[in-house]
Amino acid sequence: MRDYGTDPQIWDAGDEEVFISYRGDKDFYRSEKTIKTPCEHEWVEHIKKPNGGKGSKGANVGANKNDFANMRDHDIKTDFCSECGAWRGSLGLEPTFKLYIKHLCDIFDEVKRVLRKDGTCWVNLGDTYGGSGNRKGHTLETSNLNRLTVGYGATEGNQKATKGYEKSLLLIPQRFAIEMVNRGWILRNTIIWHKPNCMPSSAKDRFTVDFEYLYFFSKSKKYYFEQQFEPYQFPLDRWGGIYTDGNVPNSKYLKENIDPAQITKRPRSFRPNEKGRNKRTVWSINTRPFPEAHFAVFPEALIETPIKAGCPKSGIVLDPFIGSGTTARVALKQGKRYLGIDLKQEYIDMANKRIKKVEPVLF
């Protein structure tokens, strides 16, 4: 849905079996050997013409391999290899949202590979609607990074990639979470990031969306986790009030003017911890303005809890999409190390500039 202006990457590249015959110099021994070499790729333009027209060369390449049978169902112009079915392009600009989910999960396969056995993984992912088809929308070029984003309405590319799902939520977060579980991740929580100051919506036939998802995955059944607490929202008189013999028949306390919520059978407080209650899964956090040229920046408050809960002081926080460096800033403020990755040099420079402004906490 967003063009970050990065160079196209090659996805789903397969290896090609090559049979090579050779003869020894001394004994003239002859045999055959099978080796694997990277495909040299022959990029072809896939486009299925409207009104039942035939697709161009290689129109069916890759559909069976990647199990995306509807990959050629739209009037989409893109690059696939006619030899191995690989796709050349940028993450998020795939011809179908199903292929995007596959590529995103492929990246997290590598995250899982390098993650400690007791590590956790936190992913913030919002949903999107299928293109309505009633207008092409506008794209805006912002700053000097040549970034493109939607001005309003659905872009033409979105309309093509989501054909058949017009006006419907695509359930991108749910599809992603299911595929992550299918690949061996353990989904521990679905957290709702509630945005009290969300952007207003011009839609008149649905409610304004004021939340996104934050998924909490673990690599193993046993993992590092520091319990987090939040203040009690209401007085819990029943869990720390008057000790009685309980709300039982013939109890003398039933005759007295005592709130039933204060009646308990046990001579101790039920409150589990003086620090408060175990943190819930709906987090109300305001979005924050970001003046620099990056349009996918989340507030630091959103990841303070995940980093506190999921990373010990001796650990390292990895962000494979470091962007403007927000994750690194929060890690340093908590006295933890970080490792950030990004494809765009301008974002790396931006992140380093922001990170230098943080005074790390030392223990």
Q: What is the pLDDT along the chain (363 residues), one digit of tens a residue?
A: 677 788 889 999 864 444 444 444 444 444 444 556 678 888 887 654 333 333 333 333 333 333 333 433 334 457 888 888 889 998 988 888 899 999 999 999 999 999 999 999 999 999 988 875 444 444 333 333 333 333 333 455 566 677 788 889 999 999 999 999 999 999 999 999 999 999 888 889 999 999 999 999 999 999 999 999 998 776 554 444 444 445 555 555 555 565 655 555 544 445 556 788 899 999 999 998 776 655 567 899 999 999 999 999 999 999 999 999 999 999 999 999 999 999 999 999 999 999 999 987 776
- 103: in domain: no
- 37: in domain: yes
| 91: nearest Cα among 7, 170, 182, 183 | 7
* Single-letter amino acid code for the residue at 362: L
- 26: in domain: yes
pLDDT at res. 39: 81
pLDDT at res. 317: 98
- 140: in domain: no
- 260: in domain: no
Rg of the chain on CA atoms, in Å: 27
- 279: in domain: no
Q: What range defines the domain where residue 1 resides? A: 1-93
Helix (H, G, I), strand (E, B) or coil at 42: coil
pLDDT at res. 104: 96
The pTM (predicted TM-score) of the whole model is 0.74
- 27: in domain: yes
Residue 341: other Cβ atoms inside 10 A: 11
For 345, the token pair is 């040099």
Residue 118: other Cβ atoms inside 10 A: 15
| 188: nearest Cα among 221, 227, 230 | 221
pLDDT at res. 142: 34
Total of domains in the chain:
1
- 236: in domain: no
| 321: nearest Cα among 296, 302, 301 | 296
